[in-house]
């Protein structure tokens, strides 16, 4: 089911007005106006809502948050992929079979560390032989979608319809498996998810860690990195929306074309393009409804450069 159809189903089944839904969402601490919900309902937005808004929408209307988030993921996929993705009713079941057929392996030590964090004892871990079911237990919903995206991207690269690609991958042409870059946490880099960057924090001492996510080390090009949840829509012109996750390379210099994470006046943290104008810095949003701001250069501290945007839940 398409995103807007599923959202309409949840809204209709809830029996709530759009105003009541907007109030319920805001009561959950998520900002969403009635007019925006109406645009989503009538398929009048360029993109589906962010993961944060979708989860709040599903919660308030009594729907399935994961299903709505997955529908949004499908909506953003290439048109050639939509039909096969829409046939997936149960993502866990699909990935379970998919991982077995594609022989995906995750680093055993990382899996056991995550299982321990979930409450498994040392004795149980010592006797455990890691299999697909264990892997699925420790993969977040975001990681499952990241896993699927690896294969979608590979199908696009090979210029094949996804159903044809899956057929070949699942045994008709076993040699194709060697051409696929698997979701392998042993080759992925674990970086912290930062809930808030304290004012004045040096780029090599960012703390306040709320969790972790996995990224391809290549995108950081040897630098340290962290993930940061986007607050607000100031960079919506770059398709970066409230609730999205940005991957940031820690560095204190960026080019004018880069999207930077900056601390302003030792207080607020924001995403903007930065252009130096003498003793001033121009902080430039990409949201066409917002204006650039001019700030004294000494009040602007660059924390890092955005190198990737994740549109899926954490």
The catalytic residues are: 234, 272
CB-side exposure of 152: number of CA atoms within 13 Å? 18
Spatial contact of 209 and 259, defined as CB atoms under 8 Å apart: no
Spatial contact of 278 and 193, defined as CB atoms under 8 Å apart: no
Spatial contact of 294 and 280, defined as CB atoms under 8 Å apart: yes
Spatial contact of 266 and 199, defined as CB atoms under 8 Å apart: yes
Spatial contact of 294 and 230, defined as CB atoms under 8 Å apart: no
Structure tokens at 263: 């601390």
d(CA 263, CA 246): 16
Q: Give, rounded to a whole angstrom, the gap between the first and last alpha carbons of the chain.
A: 23
């Amino acid at each position: 089911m398409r995103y807007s159809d599923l959202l309409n189903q949840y809204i209709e089944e809830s029996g709530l007005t759009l105003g009541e839904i907007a109030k319920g969402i805001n009561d959950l601490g998520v900002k969403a106006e009635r007019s925006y919900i109406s645009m989503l309902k009538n398929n009048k937005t360029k993109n589906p809502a962010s993961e944060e808004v979708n989860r709040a929408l599903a919660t308030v209307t009594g729907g399935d948050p994961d299903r709505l988030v997955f529908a949004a993921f499908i909506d953003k996929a290439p048109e050639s992929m939509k039909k096969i993705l829409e046939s997936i009713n149960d993502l866990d079941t699909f990935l379970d079979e998919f991982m077995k057929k594609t022989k995906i392996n995750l680093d055993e030590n990382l899996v056991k560390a995550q299982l321990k964090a979930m409450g498994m004892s040392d004795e149980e871990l010592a006797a455990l032989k890691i299999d697909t079911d264990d892997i699925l237990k420790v993969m977040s919903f975001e990681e499952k979608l990241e896993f699927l995206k690896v294969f979608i991207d590979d199908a696009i690269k090979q210029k094949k319809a996804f159903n044809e690609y899956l057929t070949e991958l699942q045994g008709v042409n076993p040699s194709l498996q060697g051409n696929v870059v698997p979701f392998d946490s042993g080759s992925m880099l674990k970086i912290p998810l930062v809930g808030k960057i304290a004012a004045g924090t040096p780029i090599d001492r960012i703390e306040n860690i709320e969790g972790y996510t996995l990224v391809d080390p290549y995108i950081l090009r040897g630098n340290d990195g962290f993930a940061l949840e986007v607050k607000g829509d100031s960079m919506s012109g770059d398709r970066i929306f409230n609730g999205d996750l940005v991957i940031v390379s820690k560095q204190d210099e960026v080019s004018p074309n880069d999207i930077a994470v900056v601390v302003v006046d030792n207080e607020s943290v924001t995403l903007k393009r930065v252009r130096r104008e003498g003793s001033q810095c121009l902080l430039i949003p990409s949201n066409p409804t917002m204006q650039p701001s001019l700030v004294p250069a000494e009040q602007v501290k660059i924390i890092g450069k955005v190198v990737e945007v994740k549109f899926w839940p954490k």
